[in-house]
Structure 1
């Protein structure tokens, strides 16, 4: 029932200093059930660790002489003369843990060559992620969610970070982790993430990118003239003065037509990113990792556009951690890359040359399961890259459900088919339900194969929010509680699946374990 990760009926040996004149020590045994051995921490005379109950985990604090004991919210009791507090793993208590145990606070990951975003939509995947990352010199962004994901899952930035803090505490992990406010589109969203303690901001500039296609030269010229004169003169002086030669050997030359086109498409996005950096990122007292995302566009980012954006940001004093261009081909959710591998590698090489020139790393969005391009990414970037995953962790959770509660999976599958049209509003996918095997013809031991079939994977991937939020006539969640219950009872299996699957991502990137 999930106690494999914890020790069953563990008796922690507490050695208490007695007040008697002889200064002797008294040993006491407290039998408290399933405890996570890596969660044992000590602070100012108090001992803290997590225990696993039948339905939820709790924090145990023994010894009432410390500030952390007093600040944590919980139920106080005495056992053989020792004061003990049993605490919920709440958001409020996670703040206390972050205050007293620095390794549970998110940090900048600039010291790592390779970083990986590990979006956990349910809040229960981080123990498995941490177990894997302990074996790699890779910086994990354990807390990573977008506003869209928060809306679809009914969670908050606080919830996401709190779940990660408790996982870090449970696993005794001190290697450092990031927290990414992903695809943020406004000053208000950036402020919310920063106020919560996030250390990475991915600024989604899509609403400020002018996605023009099929416009005539006259149309572009007219739109260019609408840009203020001072900006136009500055751009013309900077970009029409000659050829740009990069250390990688890449040579870039802007024609007047190319300059006008890029200014019309990207200038508002550049100005927006500069404003956000100056008003929100630069004044922040802690070190932040700032990413600019220009990947949410219908057409790929060509090298001229990438350089046009990055040069202006650099000269405006923007300190970039990473940039996410829109690569050629398709990075759809939950499946491998769709496109020409040779073209991808050639264009990736040009983008990497620009990233190296300006001193930041490329960021690959929707990186889940893109195994065919991982070798190119690893080789061309030499491992200096950020890869974001998210939905694939949800799919591995569903794989656990298939193995342990196939009846529940059958319900989820049928619900997803019924609500596919609604789910398509949130994500671009090319799934064809006619290619999904008829579930009624599959035995329980054949259901796992659906998680290896692209159309079935995308079906379950994009309907996660509808599945988690669905309620019955009484207002109770239809699936959510049963999903969490199944994953809680099979915590070890979920961690095993995650270690294998995300581990395959790292290996495909050419990364070697310690």
Structure 2
């Protein structure tokens, strides 16, 4: 069954009840998946064989049969369970590693801006980090690592984005928060050591600072790694001497 026929059958059943996000339409083994929206919220529409639909969660009282081939339509939640099923079917919906590529983090606090962010990245050689929030930001917006990641992935699906993207657990201070982000599948981690940095160093003289440095048990390893080495950043050069 073609994409065009699938949409026509969907329209025949629901008329104008749902707006279809055409960029989101994806197929796998003659099963079709796409986002739709009624006058209140968005849903995942699944069109295909009964065995493909039964795994997806929905509040619909029944699945709608649409033709003689026993194809069904199911209107499903945009929830964690259904998104995980999509990520298994379409691996490009999983975050990946940036490596040394030029990247940019979007920091979407509302969880609704990913499709627009992807339009901004179009045609540019920049690795998009689409899920990027700090613990502080999530506390204020009442979100969590999983919600931030899921919102970004649903945005990728809505936009029909097939490229790589990152997920950055930003400003992490606690091991528990780091572990939770790892378990959720984040691909980048920005650690915030500010609680362990003395804020009075600017008031100390050189002798006092050297005395403090001499108390660092790992200083020999640090010197071996960085001392008398040159690091080039674009047009700037950094030397530890």
- Give the Å deviation of 1:165: 1.1
Tell me which of 94, 98, 119 is aligned to 1:109: 98
Query: 2-side partners of 1:105 and 1:44: how far apart?
Result: 20
Residue 47 in structure 1 maps to residue 22 in structure 2: no
- Give the Å deviation of 1:244: 2.6
Report SS of the residue matched to 1:92.
Answer: helix
Query: 1-side partners of 2:222 and 2:133: how far apart?
Result: 39
For each residue in 1:152-186, what CA deviation from the matched residue of structure 2 results, as whole angstroms up to 9, or x when unmatched? 00011111111111111111101111000001112
TM-score by length of structure 2 reads 0.82
Aligned to 2:9: 29
- Give the Å deviation of 1:143: 0.4
Query: 1-side partners of 2:110 and 2:223: how far apart?
Result: 51
Q: Which structure is higher in helix share? A: 1
Unaligned runs of 5+ in 1: 1-10, 16-27, 249-346, 356-514
For each residue in 1:282-334, what CA deviation from the matched residue of structure 2 results, as whole angstroms up to 9, or x when unmatched? xxxxxxxxxxxxxxxxxxxxxxxxxxxxxxxxxxxxxxxxxxxxxxxxxxxxx
In structure 2, the CA distance between the partners of 1:63 and 1:152, relative to structure 1 (3 Å rule), is same
Aligned to 1:61: 46
Query: 1-side partners of 2:51 and 2:100: how far apart?
Result: 34
Report SS of the residue matched to 1:29.
Answer: helix
For each residue in 1:92-146, what CA deviation from the matched residue of structure 2 results, as whole angstroms up to 9, or x when unmatched? 221221121111111112263x210001000011010112222212111010000
Tell me which of 69, 77, 81 is aligned to 2:63: 77
Q: Are the equivalent residues in 1 in contact too, given 2:10–2:73 (CA < 8 A)?
A: no
Residue 244 in structure 1 maps to residue 228 in structure 2: yes
Aligned to 1:223: 212
- Give the Å deviation of 1:207: 1.7
Report SS of the residue matched to 2:146.
Answer: helix
Tell me which of 146, 159, 162 is aligned to 1:174: 162
Residue 121 in structure 1 maps to residue 109 in structure 2: yes
In structure 2, the CA distance between the partners of 1:149 and 1:39, relative to structure 1 (3 Å rule), is same
Q: Are the equivalent residues in 2 in contact too, given 1:116–1:141 (CA < 8 A)?
A: yes
Q: Are the equivalent residues in 2 in contact too, given 1:43–1:66 (CA < 8 A)?
A: no
For each residue in 1:312-359, what CA deviation from the matched residue of structure 2 results, as whole angstroms up to 9, or x when unmatched? xxxxxxxxxxxxxxxxxxxxxxxxxxxxxxxxxxx9854xx349xxxx
Aligned to 2:6: 14
Bigger Rg, structure 1 or 2: 1
Residue 88 in structure 1 maps to residue 88 in structure 2: no
Query: 2-side partners of 1:39 and 1:152: how far apart?
Result: 31
Unaligned runs of 5+ in 2: none
For each residue in 1:50-78, what CA deviation from the matched residue of structure 2 results, as whole angstroms up to 9, or x when unmatched? 112111111110113454x2322113412
TM-score by length of structure 1 reads 0.41
Q: Are the equivalent residues in 2 in contact too, given 1:12–1:30 (CA < 8 A)?
A: no
Aligned to 2:86: 97
In structure 2, the CA distance between the partners of 1:176 and 1:77, relative to structure 1 (3 Å rule), is same
CA RMSD, Structure 1 to Structure 2 (Å): 2.9
Structure 1 residues 422-441: aligned runs within 5 Å: none
Report SS of the residue matched to 2:6.
Answer: strand
